[in-house]
Each structure stands twice: as C-alpha cells, then as structure tokens.
Amino acid sequence: MIRRTIMKYIESLKITQREYREVYKMLYCEPSNEDECFFENDSRLFTAKFTNGYFMDIKVCGILGFEPNSSNTCWSEAVLFNKKGAEVVCTDAGDDFLGEWMLEDGDDMYVVTVEVELTDEEENTQSEKHRRSLLGGS
C-alpha cells in the first residue's frame, strides 16, 4: 500500500488599509440606491500563491443588479486554482473577508490568512509595546 503524505500549504495575504476600507464598504455598508451599489465589474480580487504552484483568489464580488427592499451588499468567496489555472474548489458565498480561508484538494489543505497591513506608526507602536513586555515594563 502506498501512503501519501498529507500537505498543508499556508500563506499570508496582507492588504492595505485603503483596500480594507473599500472591502469593508462593499461587504457591510448597505447602499441606499443603485448609484451606491458595487456591481460585478466592481469586484475586487486578491491572490495568494503557494509553493507548489497552486494559488487562491480571495474575492469580493459585486451584485448582479440593485433590488429595492433587499440586501444589495457584495459577497466574498475563496477559489483555489491548480498549477494550470483550472479551478479546483471554492467556498460558499459569505460576508467575511479578514482571517483564515481554508480549502482542500484531496488530502492537501490550503490556508490563506488575510490581514490588514499596519502603518509605519502602528508597526513602531507595536514593536515598542513588545519590547516593553519583554523587559517586564508596561
């Protein structure tokens, strides 16, 4: 019997604060009219590449058309592609974006963690807090 090694591929995907504000607006701010909507051509795509040639797109998808008295916010999904660019598997539609996205192909697991990049000022503040904690200060 041949035993296959199960692989777990992990990548991090950092987006800018400006990109996150846009994604947040698309997913969580209900448009009051058609002019405020994000449609299919407004969709956003972020890609993480794995060491084996596979890649995962994390997408915020625009709506098909404005419907009064209905939810008109966008939705999110992750799509895994193989080395040749063929779609392997995707998540169900959701309304989350940051955090962990996980998809499987056979026994292999693909994980992307989406995070917002810190500004230089936030990075320095975090580094200083970490340094103080190591020194036992507050």
In a domain, 3, yes or no: no
Task: Name the domain count of the chain.
Answer: 1
Cβ pair 87, 80 in contact under 8 A: yes
Give pLDDT tens digits for 31-45.
Answer: 988 898 899 889 999
In a domain, 72, yes or no: yes
Q: Is 102 exposed, middle or buried (0-12, 13-18, 19+ CB in 10 A)?
A: middle
Domain that holds residue 65: 8-135
12-16, 82-86, 118-122, 127-131: the lowest-pLDDT one: 127-131
Collapse the DSSP code of 31 into the 3-class scheme (helix H, G, I; strand E, B; otherwise coil) and give the result.
Answer: coil
In a domain, 40, yes or no: yes
In a domain, 80, yes or no: yes
| Between 119 and 39, residue with greater pLDDT | 39
Report the predicted TM-score, pTM, of the whole model to 2 decimal places.
Answer: 0.80
Rounded to whole angstroms, how far apart are CA atoms 46 and 59?
Answer: 6
Give pLDDT tens digits for 47-74.
Answer: 999 999 999 999 999 988 888 888 889 9
